[in-house]
Amino acid sequence: MLVIFGFIVVMASVLGGFALQGGHLAALFQPTELLIIGGAALGAFFVANDGKAIRATLNSIPTLFQTSRYTKGMYMDLMSLMFELLTKVRKEGLMSVEGDVDDPYDSPIFTRYPRIMEDGHILEFITDYLRLMISGNMDAFQIENLMDNEIETHHEDAELPVNTIQSMAEAMPAFGIVAAVVGVVHTMASVGLPPSELGVLIAGALVGTFIGILLSYGFVGPLAQLLRRKHMEQAKMYQCVKVTLLASLNGYAPALSVEFGRKVISATERPSFLELDKQVRTVKVK
């Protein structure tokens, strides 16, 4: 919703300001300029990227128009899930959660937290490292190193669509110049026309530069920044799980382990100590 609102503000500000200056909005309607800029940008996008990058970019576009699901409530669910799992491990041993890890969709613990279950990536991250802990063949340092490598790989994959969209944004002003040059060439080829008609052609040519810059800085560029922000939010979930599991591996009690995880949550979503403590007490009652 904010994305659409932002686009409306951009268009209202630019077009409104132009109209207030006495400009004619119809002069900005240049479909051929849009065709040149949009078509060239799309063609360059396909040339510069392989199938993996194209699929990742297309799959990421719908997420730009969705509100973030990484809210305080989701983090509370994550902390509650981790606490419940680690409490069971502390009371009954690591082997007690083997069934939950092998089939989380049929686990009485995991199924209590549907918001976590909907995020397949974070669910896989939790179960994979609990499975490694159950194996007993890796120490805390080895698991931490493996976690860091996986999070780094996730970051690289997440940056792929961000970079493709950012590259398109950077190219659009140049394609706007191309459209303007094409318009100037057309104008020069029509120098025998009356001055009034030549003025219309020149104005249409200049609109190409205008459109290219507007699309770059008002529309496409901000989308790349927003997508990067969304991926950073997802990465914070991985960090939270990582810190919590490592604290448990180093011998800390479940309540203290989830407190370690709480400290790496962004301030805007981080529950307070009392909120988390109250949630943990609720889990104890179950």
Find the range with the poorest average confidence among 49-58, 105-114, 137-146, 262-271.
137-146
Q: How much is the pLDDT for 261?
A: 92
Q: How much is the pLDDT for 286?
A: 52
Whether this model's pTM surpasses 0.85? no
N residues, the chain:
286
Q: What is the pLDDT of residues 90-140, one digit of tens each?
A: 888 888 888 988 899 999 999 999 999 988 889 999 999 998 888 877 778
Q: How much is the pLDDT for 10?
A: 92
The residues near 213 (Cβ < 8 Å, ≥ 6 apart) are 172, 173, 176
203, two tokens? 């104005």
Q: What is the pLDDT of residues 182-203, one digit of tens each?
A: 888 877 777 777 877 777 777 7
Model confidence band, residue 284 (pLDDT cutoffs 50, 70, 90): low
User: Helices 221-249 and 72-92, interaxial angle, to 10°?
Assistant: 20
pLDDT at 256 > cutoff 80: yes
Mean pLDDT (the chain, rounded): 88
Please say whether the beta carbons of 63 and 228 come within 8 A. no
Q: What is the pLDDT of residues 139-183, one digit of tens each?
A: 788 888 999 999 999 888 889 999 999 999 999 999 999 988 888
Q: What is the pLDDT of residues 200-230, one digit of tens each?
A: 777 777 888 889 999 999 999 999 999 999 8
Model confidence band, residue 45 (pLDDT cutoffs 50, 70, 90): very high
Parse the chain into domains and list their residue ranges: 31-285
Alpha carbon of residue 239 to chain centroid: 16
SS3 letters for the chain? CHHHHHHHHHHHHHHHHHHHCCCCHHHHCCHHHHHHHHHHHHHHHHHHCCHHHHHHHHHHHHHHHCCCCCCHHHHHHHHHHHHHHHHHHHHHCHHHHHHHHHCHHHCCCHHHCHHHHCCHHHHHHHHHHHHHHHHCCCCHHHHHHHHHHHHHHHHHHHHHHHHHHHHHHHHHHHHHHHHHHHHHHHHHCCCCCCHHHHHHHHHHHHHHHHHHHHHHHHHHHHHHHHHHHHHHHHHHHHHHHHHHHHHHHCCCCHHHHHHHHHCCCCCCCCCCHHHHHHHHHHHHHC
Q: How much is the pLDDT for 142?
A: 87
